[in-house]
Structure 1
Amino acid sequence: MKRATIHTSAAIALLLGLAACTRDELADDNRLPEGEYPVVIRATGLSVEATPQAAPSTRATVDGDWQGVTSVALKTGDAVKEYTVTASTDFKSATLSRENDPHYWTSRDPITVSAWWPFDNADITQMPAVKVAEDQSKLADFQNSDFISAENQT
């Protein structure tokens, strides 16, 4: 009798173990577990590619490098957050990330991600109007005409 109870208990434990869910993702839709997939952008060259696993890639600055750019505004949905720019050693590519309270991928459904630099510290939520000097023969006019903007549905 004791042996039958042990075998029955072991069989129940085995069945419960086999039936346990091993994934946090919901099977009936495209939602992802909350707070597990932060949005990180890799800016490399001129192509634009994006997936939740491999971060989007996009254009660099007018000079072809990220030298002097320390942060960008990044928008998903209606929320805009300041992201830190970590440039590569040659400044030809950069990773845009945010340590505290980043945007998160919440679904496998397409979303639109926009980023821009420079941004207005007084109102980071609005992409500034692009003002390009007609005459950029002076370095200051050239530098003040530098503006990066990227938008991609990912």
Structure 2
Amino acid sequence: MASDVKLDTRLIRKLREDKGWSQEHLAAVSGLSVRTIQRLEAEGNASLESRSAITLALGVEPLALDEAMKSPVVELPPTLTVDVIKARPAIDLFKVAQLIALVVGLMIAMGYVVGRDLAKRDNQINASCKANPADCRR
């Protein structure tokens, strides 16, 4: 079937056993048959619906059980690990502080301009209200 997915059989069994569940209990909780649970743990072939039911019952994300999503565990030699750590670019705190100061300065300047324009508008409204109070009913 085109909608079949390959699941990680060891992970399904581990998650079930970590909860202390039998295959029968997982079948009851997921709404699948015991035979389907047995087949999932033995072969890993599942329909999308079965995968959804079992992941919901086990409380994991649907992609967490997919065989293709497993990442191989690779042990790095100690020297390679140290080289990788040294290769990371360091954060220049001075440049970060400069950027923060620039952003804050721009925010202050924009606040000043907006405040100034609002004050001019309010002053014009006040002046026109003093000239003709009948037009200024609030």
The TM-score range, normalised by the shorter chain, is under 0.3
Bigger radius of gyration, 1 or 2? Answer: 2
TM-score, normalised to structure 2, is: 0.22
| Greater percentage in helix | 2
Relative to the length of structure 1, the TM-score reads 0.20
**Would you tell me which structure has more strand in proportion to its own residues?**
1
